[in-house]
Chains A and B, each alone.
Chain A
Amino acid sequence: MVHATTEQPIMTQSEFLNVVMPFKDKLYRLSKRLLISSEEAEDATQEVLMKLWSKNSNIANYKNVEAFAMTMTKNFCLDRLKSKQSSNLKLVHSNYEDGNTSLQKQMEARDSISWVEKIMEELPEQQKLVLQLRDVEEYDFKEIADLLEMQPTAVRVALSRARKTVREKLMQKHSYGIG
């Protein structure tokens, strides 16, 4: 009897999907930006949505479910990366990349649009996140700051740095391409 009065109304599956629908792609794109592999990004998104579903009755308490889900996704992916780094995967990855990529990338990235994608892969995680949230998802500074638990000025600095790096590297590739 006591439970019934304090309990939040429980969402049905379809209600939940309606809440989640508008931003599930954003979760996926954020995961992919961090994890790079689309399979891993799909798994991460799935995981986050399932976690969200299991918290279902609490969802009504969050003013902004989207922001909450985005933060969850960010943390989940960063954790993934961290545990991957501690395993030998990182060693393989970085060894492989250093020797091989410049050539491989030039071959792969014929069109300059995918250059941008590759350049973003090389950015530090925080700049990656800021650039993704701003230039792809078009969040404002306040939202980004809340999401990443950063000061708005720090967001601005990171964003400026990220954009300039992309420009610089793009110029380099561009001049290689032409020359």
Chain B
Amino acid sequence: MALDKIEILLEKYFEATTTVAEEEQLRDYFSQDSVAPHLEQYTPMFTYFSKAKDERFTKQVPLKPRVSYHKWISIAAVAVMAFGIYFGNDYREQREAEFAYQETKKALSLLAQNLERGTEKVAYLNEFEQAKQKIYNNN
């Protein structure tokens, strides 16, 4: 490339007005052997940048195999639900039975009370009957 063009590019380069492509041209120019003597002072800059780009990351990255949480969460949810339904049912049945028992007990005790009251009344009737018998006997 013409030397004057390189000089112009260099000037633009330090004002940061060169494009990426123009900077590529500069790097190319300074990577070859026949750099103009008065520009040689810039060579280390451009060769360094090219060299720096060759550095590589060689370390291994230990990636833990990622369990997909959603899958396990849904499995857990299903398990909890099944458990709940199974034992929940038992529990509900037990409660229902207990309730029925209590109701029956209440009903029975009510019946017993009324029966008692009934027999009391019947006792009055007895009194009446006795009185009647007395009267009949007297006659």
Contacts and interface: CB of A to CB of B under 8 A. Distances in A.
B88 interface: no
A112 interface: yes
Contacts of B68: 10
**Contact-size category for B:** 20 to 34
Q: Mostly helix, strand, loop or mixed at chain A's interface?
A: helix
B81 to A, nearest CB: 13
Interface string B41-58: 111110111011101110
Interface stretch (A64-72, A77-85, A92-100, A156-164): A156-164
B55 A174 contact: no
Interface residues of A, number: 44
Contact of A166 (B45, B55, B62, B65): B45
B57 A24 contact: yes
Q: Mostly helix, strand, loop or mixed at chain B's interface?
A: helix
24 contacts: A7-B70, A10-B68, A24-B57, A27-B57, A29-B53, A29-B55, A42-B59, A46-B59, A46-B61, A49-B63, A50-B62, A53-B61, A56-B66, A112-B44, A113-B48, A116-B44, A134-B23, A135-B23, A138-B20, A166-B45, A167-B14, A167-B42, A171-B41, A174-B41
Contacts, number: 87
A54 B64 CA distance: 9
Contact of A170 (B45, B61, B66): B45
B53 A136 contact: yes
A16 B57 contact: no
A10 B69 CA distance: 11
Contacts of A45: 57, 59
Nearest to A141: B16
A158 B135 CA distance: 134
Interface in B10-54: 13-17, 20, 23-24, 41-45, 47-49, 51-53
